[in-house]
Amino acid sequence: MSDLAQEFGLRAPGGAGAAATKPKKGKAVDGKELFHRTAKKDGRRVVILRCFDRDGACVVECDVYPTNSLRVEPLHPGPYTFASRDEASGFIEEALLALEYLGCDIS
């Protein structure tokens, strides 16, 4: 399990058969996490994008940490639902490209 996943309680250890952990703050974290990407600016995390496979559709969930405030809790725009993994990946790649243009480091 990645440090990021453990930090946010995204998945229980155990691989593909592991059940999703309890949702945070009313978010519906169910289904299998396909991948996640993180954007940081000046060493601070600003965005986490997660893609889940849910009932044949792909759902992208976002955690956005505003840089212009002292807010600790992230904003949760979305979720964004796509018919295929390719569509969801395209959405995430476009968002990450925009964040790169804004000076963020992507991982």
Please report where in the chains the tokens 């993180």 appear, as a residue: 38
Q: For residue 41, which amino acid is it?
A: K
Looking at residue 96, its pLDDT comes to: 94
Answer yes or no: is pLDDT of 47 > 70: yes
The overall pTM is greater than 0.95: no
Three-state DSSP at 70 gives coil
Exposed, middle or buried: residue 58 (CB in 10 Å: 0-12, 13-18, 19+)? buried
Q: What is the average per-residue pLDDT within 95-105?
A: 93
What would the pLDDT profile of 4-40 be if each residue is shown by its tens digit? 444 445 444 333 333 333 344 434 456 788 899 999 9
